[in-house]
Amino acid sequence: MASPHRKPRWRRRADARPDEILGAALAEFTERGFEATRVEDVARRAGLSKAGVYLYFASKDDLLRALIEREVAPVARGVAALAEAGKADPLGAIRAIVAALSQATSDPARFAVPRVVLSVAGRFPEIGAYYREHVVEHGLGALAMLHRAGVEQGVFRDVDSRIAARALVGPVMLHAAWLHVLGGDPGKMSPAARAEAHLDLVLKGLLQ
């Protein structure tokens, strides 16, 4: 006789379905493209009916927003947490954040959702706005806050902190696009070494 405290198998399966659907959606978006993918394609891949997908997600756009929340927003929140914890050592915190982002964006699986978003943001501005609000602004805000803390401590020049934040993270995102969108040569540098090289350029500049 089953224990009265044990969850029935169907309950465990039902609890897992949103993640299964999102995994199927990401695979379809990656293979077919967001616009070419139909909800029924996602349902078929997840082993559900189309109606079964709609039990959890209202639309294809909703699937992509949920993927942003599952795959990318936690990274932005992690950056914000690192920045908050590192205000006493803003340079050290910036180094840690840029190194972590360089490592994460080197992985094609980790960059899969940003790649989908970049491919459709021009035609679906509401998706671009959602990504900007829930991911980009969190990360840039954290780096801007660290720059401002460094200015107050006499570590950094007093320039526009928003521009400083973009200068710090821009090369990381450009390299990710170079790798995963344009199919460029990754080069021989490790993500950690590449992060240090780009920070050296940003922090010291090109002039002698």
CATH of span 59-204: 1.10.357.10
The model's confidence at residue 207, banded by pLDDT at 50, 70 and 90, is: confident
Instruction: Tell me the one-letter amino acid at 94.
Output: I
Longest dimension (CA), the chain: 79
How many CB atoms within 10 Å of residue 183?
A: 7
Task: Delimit the domains of the chain by residue range.
Answer: 8-57, 59-204
The per-residue pLDDT for 145 is 97
What is the 3-class SS of 81-121, one letter each residue?
Answer: HHHHHCCCCHHHHHHHHHHHHHHHHCCCCCCHHHHHHHHHC
The tokens describing 180, both together, are 């995963």
pLDDT per position as a tens digit, 138-170: 999 999 999 999 999 999 999 999 999 999 999
DSSP 158-177: ---HHHHHHHHHHHHHHHHH
Local structure of residue 56 (DSSP, 8 states): T
Q: Identify the pLDDT of residue 15.
A: 60
Distances (CA, A) of 174 to 6, 22, 54, 132, 170: 49, 26, 36, 16, 6
Q: Rounded to the nearest 5 degrees, what angle is found at the Cα of 205, between the Cα atoms of 202 and 208?
A: 155
Segment 103-118 mean pLDDT: 94
As a whole number, mean pLDDT of residues 182-195 equals 94
Res 7 pLDDT > 80: no
Asked if CATH classification 3.40.50.150 holds for the domain at 8-57, the reply, yes or no, is: no
Full-model pTM: 0.87
Please say whether the beta carbons of 114 and 176 come within 8 A.
yes
pLDDT band for position 96 (50/70/90)? very high
Residue 29, SS3?
A: helix
